[in-house]
Structure 1
Amino acid sequence: MTLIFRLLAVMTAAIFAALRGRRTGLLAPSTLRFRVWPTDLDINLHMTNARYFSVMDLGRTDLMIRVGLGPAILHNRWQPVLGGATIRYRRPLPPFRRFTLVSRVLCWDEKYIFIEHRMETRSGLAALAVVQGAFVGSTGVVAPAEVLAALGTATASPPIPDAVAALRGQSPAAA
């Protein structure tokens, strides 16, 4: 199954869930289930490293729609972009293995929103990633405060975890 079909399936499910009033909270996790298909494999016959990031894109898409950002993204013509990512591979994902992607917002600062992606199987954690993302509009980077305002909230960011501090290039004590 190619990514376009996965994207269409994720977007359709998320839109219908949002329309039926099953939105998720800003800090609540988004969970998607997938299977490793032959088109996801590398020469070692496990999911290629690049595909992990592609599947995580789907997790962020689902998360954005389910928290209710879809209309604001379309209306303001915001484009979601990544400013950085770090990943830790724990177990390979062989052909046809089922896995779950759990995506959740960890925190935010004045410029970026930090999201955790966990790929899990029955055997345990396959990969853990933290990404720093932002929205770009016609005038440049959209501050997370403006994104939160589009959701109708002014919630303060949770404390910055060590993994995010490392991604920002800071020591945990400096965060």
Structure 2
Amino acid sequence: MYPIVRVIKELLRARKMPELGALDAHVSYHRCWPQDVDNYLEMNNGRILSILDIGRTGLAQRVGLIGALTKNRWGLTIAGSSLRYRKRIRPFVKFRTVSRCIGWDKRFFYIEQSIWIGEDCAVQALFRSAMTDKNGIVPPEAVFAAVGYQADSPLLPAWAQAWIDADNTRPWPPEFDGTSQPTA
């Protein structure tokens, strides 16, 4: 079940926090509850994705994106992701999520997120995101203009650009549709 109560709580918290610049980091705090764990008694990877979604929601609220989405009738979508899991998140453990935009290109925003237990990074993720309207993807320049930010994208970190480049070599649609034998 999607943690809608957590989303509402995060939005209410973020509303009370100071506004952020478009490239600033939003930090949110959470706890791993029993309903978050899988049969290995650690936070389920699907729940981790939901927690990261909540962090992006708080970030969107604080940079003014929620208002721009509503005003312009835009949608917000995830167009790709890469996650690295390095530490288990056990029941009742407190942790923090750090969310920030690290750059953009002609179509997409790139959001880096991490989950920290004390000083240890448990999860790090890179998301490709886009705003959409009835005509498709809204250019990042238009989105930034709507939140009052005008600047060029910072240079993406080499690891993020390498992921983008590698992902661009992936065939679409996939070559194997599950109805025939895969080609070697």
Query: What TM-score comes out, normalization by structure 1 length?
Result: 0.91
CA contact (8 A) 2:22 2:101 kept: yes
SS in structure 2 opposite 1:57?
Answer: helix
Q: Pick from 53, 62, 69: which aligns with 1:57? A: 53
Q: Which residue of 1 aligns with 2:42?
A: 46
**Runs of 4+ residues over 2 Å off in structure 1:** none
Q: Name the % identity.
A: 34
Q: Pick from 120, 126, 137: which aligns with 2:122? A: 126
Deviation, structure 1 residue 166: 2.7
Q: Which residue of 2 aligns with 1:10?
A: 10
Deviation, structure 1 residue 116: 0.5
The aligned runs of 1:90-109 (5 Å cut-off) are 90-109=86-105
Q: Which residue identity does 1:68 align to in structure 2?
A: G
Q: Deviations over 1:116-174 (max 9, x none)?
A: 11100125010100100001111110111111110122211010112321331349xxx
The number of residues matched between the two structures is 167
The 1:2–1:140 alpha-carbon spacing in structure 2 relative to 1, beyond 3 Å, is closer
Q: Which residue identity does 1:34 align to in structure 2?
A: H
Q: Which residue identity does 1:92 align to in structure 2?
A: R
Give the root-mean-square deviation of aligned CA atoms. Answer: 1.6
Output the CA distance in 2 between the equivalents of 1:76 and 1:110. Answer: 19
The aligned runs of 1:120-159 (5 Å cut-off) are 120-122=116-118, 124-159=120-155
Output the CA distance in 2 between the equivalents of 1:67 and 1:123. Answer: 26
Output the CA distance in 2 between the equivalents of 1:8 and 1:152. Answer: 25
Q: Pick from 151, 157, 161: which aligns with 2:157? A: 161
Query: What TM-score comes out, normalization by structure 2 length?
Result: 0.86
Q: Which residue identity does 1:67 align to in structure 2?
A: V
SS in structure 1 opposite 2:16?
Answer: helix
Q: Which residue of 2 aligns with 1:71?
A: 67
Deviation, structure 1 residue 2: 6.6
Q: Pick from 52, 77, 80: which aligns with 1:81? A: 77
CA contact (8 A) 1:2 1:39 kept: no
Q: In structure 1, list runs of 5 or more residues that go unmatched.
A: none
The 1:110–1:30 alpha-carbon spacing in structure 2 relative to 1, beyond 3 Å, is same
Output the CA distance in 1 between the equivalents of 2:128 and 2:50. Answer: 15
Q: Deviations over 1:48-70 (max 9, x none)?
A: 11111111111111111101112
Q: Which residue identity does 1:6 align to in structure 2?
A: R
CA contact (8 A) 1:130 1:163 kept: no
Q: In structure 2, list runs of 5 or more residues that go unmatched.
A: 168-184
Q: Which residue identity does 1:108 align to in structure 2?
A: W
Larger radius of gyration: 2
The 1:138–1:93 alpha-carbon spacing in structure 2 relative to 1, beyond 3 Å, is same
Q: Which residue identity does 1:39 align to in structure 2?
A: Q
